[in-house]
């Protein structure tokens, strides 16, 4: 999957799990500061992304995923 | 006895199988409708009781979808009903959050979520369990979510006493205002356990009706053919307010919570005390707490769940408490229309009692084709009955497994 495709799917997940509208989602946006995804919702986002992309995102990696771009790049690299 | 701080009702909210708000539910009760349908879902096919008062309406118009994801269905109903009640009372911009409380319960809680997560745990493992499971299944979830929704900071409580739960919540809210902890309290209760385990479990107790071929008439309190209660789901919410606070802001006042009585049977974990002594004590305590006379009571909204033993035990208790004055109390059993919403019932039925006082009419109990002569009560059954325009006192009974008896005394205002 390309970064663009992953980013599109991440926007779908963020809308469903946290009510973030797709036009807010961009590579440089921070999950907590910009998109107001709380820590429990972040766990849900990670679980949904793991299911969607067939990857494993370990807990110790999640804290490094500050922005949407961090997550997209991790997923592209792992899948 | 010194006078209590007077507590009045200034807002109402309902989510029931008869309607997603107060007006539609009351209209359906007045139209003698039943909210009960056949459970045609696959999971119910081998359960003895396959009927329920299920809410089929789409909730997405009345609750935010992301918020709903984080709530058990029982909490969704609770939040919807509470939002209606606070809007009806126009209270949120008219109360100090430090003086605003919550008392809201559920009989069983997030069982449907437990079952969903158990399935995920079994099929996909612990890593796939929803991180919000704990706040979804905790019994205080509804109270906490309402507290968050309305910004209540005086305290949020979640009384739990099976099918007496939300009547007990009304009592706790009244107590919070009387003792000066709050000026306004949102009270009520909710339930949503029309699922395979709860239906199987109540069926195993032989507590539910098996009249599967005729759902609309299955809940038939006081009829000789009654064979158990009908499971239902829903929530009721009331805004309680000190009379002084309500008057100062010129609020519309529906009725007064004049008193309450709460007792326990110490008889059996599930069966009612056939003597009705504990239930009678609750009714007497409610009238005394209202600083009224037994002869002031003109209406009883009964617990009457349509079980063979329970309906008789309550009738016996009424006779025991009121003696010959029982002949002058007009009784109705709204579970004939709604079914039994367990932890939601006390609040839903107190709201119906209040609407009877406001509209001066007692809706008839439906589905009585052969009245049980062992029930020595004046049951409103053939037609709705008008009530006098004078000041009157009505009672609402709620009893729960465990021998919990709660009676709320409501005075017209």
Residue B284 has pLDDT above 60, yes or no: yes
Question: What is d(CA B84, CA A20) in angstroms, rounded to the nearest whole number?
Answer: 26
Question: What is d(CA B399, CA B408) in angstroms, rounded to the nearest whole number?
Answer: 11
Q: Residue A25 has what DSSP assignment? A: -
Burial of B409 (0-12, 13-18, 19+ CB in 10 A): buried
How sure is the predictor about B207, in pLDDT bands with cuts at 50, 70 and 90? very high
pLDDT digits (tens, 9 = 90+) for B171-185: 999 999 999 999 999
Q: Which domains does chain B have, with CATH numbers?
A: 8-248 (3.40.47.10), 258-412 (3.40.47.10)
Contact residues, chain B, for A48 at CB < 8 Å = none
In the beta sheet, which residues pair with residue B13? B237
pLDDT digits (tens, 9 = 90+) for B130-187: 999 999 999 999 999 999 999 999 999 999 999 999 999 999 999 999 999 999 999 9
pLDDT digits (tens, 9 = 90+) for B398-412: 999 999 999 999 999
Mutant choice from A44, A45, A52 vs B, greatest count of B C-beta within 10 A: A44
Question: What is d(CA B376, CA B318) in angstroms, rounded to the nearest whole number?
Answer: 9
Question: What is d(CA B149, CA B238) in angstroms, rounded to the nearest whole number?
Answer: 15
User: What is the pLDDT averaged over residues A48-62?
Assistant: 95
Residue B317 has pLDDT above 60, yes or no: yes
In what helix (H) or strand (E) does residue B190 lie, and over which residues does it extend?
strand B184-191
Distance from CA of A1 to the nearest CA of B (A): 24
Q: Provide the number of CB pairs (under 8 Å) joining chain A to chain B.
A: 15
pLDDT digits (tens, 9 = 90+) for B245-277: 999 999 999 999 999 999 999 999 998 898 999
What is the reported pLDDT for A1? Answer: 87
Distance from CA of A69 to the nearest CA of B (A): 23
Q: β-strands B255-264, B404-412: how paired?
A: antiparallel
How sure is the predictor about A32, in pLDDT bands with cuts at 50, 70 and 90? very high
Residue of B nearest to A50 (CA): B128
Question: What is d(CA B328, CA B160) in angstroms, rounded to the nearest whole number?
Answer: 33
Residues written for chain B: 413
What is the reported pLDDT for B3? Answer: 75
Contact residues, chain B, for A17 at CB < 8 Å = 66, 69
What is the reported pLDDT for A4? Answer: 94
Residue B266 backbone phi and psi in degrees, to 5: 50, 50
Is A12 at the interface with chain B, CB within 8 A? no
Contact residues, chain B, for A49 at CB < 8 Å = none
Contact residues, chain A, for B64 at CB < 8 Å = 19
Residue A60 has pLDDT above 90, yes or no: yes
Are the Cβ atoms of A19 and B66 closer than 8 angstroms? yes
Distances (CA, A) of B336 to B25, B36, B53, B218, B229: 13, 9, 11, 8, 9
What is the reported pLDDT for A79? Answer: 83
Q: What is the CA radius of gyration of chain B?
A: 20
User: What is the pLDDT averaged over residues A50-63?
Assistant: 95
Are the Cβ atoms of A40 and B131 closer than 8 angstroms? yes
Mutant choice from A15, A19, A49 vs B, greatest count of B C-beta within 10 A: A19
Residue B1 has pLDDT above 60, yes or no: no
What is the reported pLDDT for B4? Answer: 86
Distance from CA of B128 to the nearest CA of A (A): 7
User: What is the pLDDT averaged over residues B117-123?
Assistant: 98
Are the Cβ atoms of A17 and B131 closer than 8 angstroms? no
How sure is the predictor about B2, in pLDDT bands with cuts at 50, 70 and 90? low
Q: Which domains does chain A have, with CATH numbers?
A: 3-72 (1.10.1200.10)
Distance from CA of B130 to the nearest CA of A (A): 7
pLDDT digits (tens, 9 = 90+) for B326-350: 999 999 999 999 999 999 999 999 9
Is A55 at the interface with chain B, CB within 8 A? no
pLDDT digits (tens, 9 = 90+) for B4-51: 899 999 999 999 999 999 999 999 999 999 999 999 999 999 999 999
**Would you say B18 and B337 are in contact if contact means Cβ atoms under 8 Å apart?**
yes
Average pLDDT, chain B: 97
């Amino acid at each position: 999957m390309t970064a663009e495709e992953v980013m599109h799917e991440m926007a779908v997940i963020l809308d469903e799990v946290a009510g973030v509208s797709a036009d807010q989602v961009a590579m440089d946006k921070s999950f907590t500061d910009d998109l107001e995804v709380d820590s429990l919702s972040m766990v849900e986002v990670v679980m949904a992304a793991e299911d969607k992309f067939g990857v494993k995102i370990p807990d110790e990696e999640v804290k490094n995923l500050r922005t949407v771009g961090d997550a997209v790049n991790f997923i592209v690299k792992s899948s | 006895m010194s006078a209590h701080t007077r507590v009045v009702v200034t807002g109402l909210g309902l989510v029931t199988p008869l309607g997603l708000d107060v007006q539609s539910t009351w209209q359906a009760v007045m139209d003698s409708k039943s909210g009960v349908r056949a459970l045609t879902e696959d999971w119910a096919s081998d359960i003895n009781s396959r009927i329920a008062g299920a809410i089929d309406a789409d909730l997405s118009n009345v609750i935010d979808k992301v918020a709903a994801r984080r709530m058990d269905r029982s909490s969704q109903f609770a939040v919807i009903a509470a939002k209606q009640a606070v809007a009806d009372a126009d209270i949120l911009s008219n109360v100090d959050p430090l003086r605003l409380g919550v008392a809201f319960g559920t009989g069983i809680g997030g069982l449907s979520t437990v079952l969903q997560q158990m399935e995920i745990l079994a099929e996909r493992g612990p890593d796939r369990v929803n991180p919000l499971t704990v706040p979804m299944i905790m019994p205080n979830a509804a109270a906490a979510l309402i507290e968050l929704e309305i910004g209540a900071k005086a305290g949020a409580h979640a009384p739990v006493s099976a099918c007496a739960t939300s009547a007990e919540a009304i009592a706790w809210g009244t107590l919070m205002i009387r003792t000066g902890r709050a000026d306004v309290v949102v009270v009520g209760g909710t339930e949503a356990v029309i699922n395979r385990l709860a239906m199987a479990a109540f069926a195993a107790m032989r507590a539910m009706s098996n009249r599967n071929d005729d759902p609309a008439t299955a809940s038939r309190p006081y009829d000789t053919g009654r064979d158990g209660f009908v499971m239902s789901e829903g929530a009721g919410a009331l805004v309680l307010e000190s009379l002084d606070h309500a008057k100062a802001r010129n609020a519309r006042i529906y009725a007064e919570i004049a008193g309450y009585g709460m007792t326990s049977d110490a008889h059996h974990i599930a069966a009612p005390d056939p003597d009705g002594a504990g239930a009678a004590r609750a009714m007497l305590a409610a009238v005394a707490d209202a600083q009224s006379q037994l002869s002031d009571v003109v209406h009883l909204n009964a617990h009457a769940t349509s079980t063979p033993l329970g309906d008789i035990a309550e009738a016996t208790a009424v006779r025991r408490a009121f003696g010959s004055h029982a002949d002058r109390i007009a009784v109705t059993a709204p579970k004939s229309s709604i079914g039994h919403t367990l932890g939601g019932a006390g609040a839903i039925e107190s709201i119906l009692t209040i609407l009877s006082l406001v509209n001066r009419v007692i809706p008839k109990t439906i589905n009585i084709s052969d009245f049980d002569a062992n029930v020595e009560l004046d049951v409103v059954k053939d037609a709705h009955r008008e009530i006098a325009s004078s000041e009157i006192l009505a009672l609402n009974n709620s009893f729960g497994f465990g021998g919990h008896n709660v009676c709320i005394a409501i005075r017209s205002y």
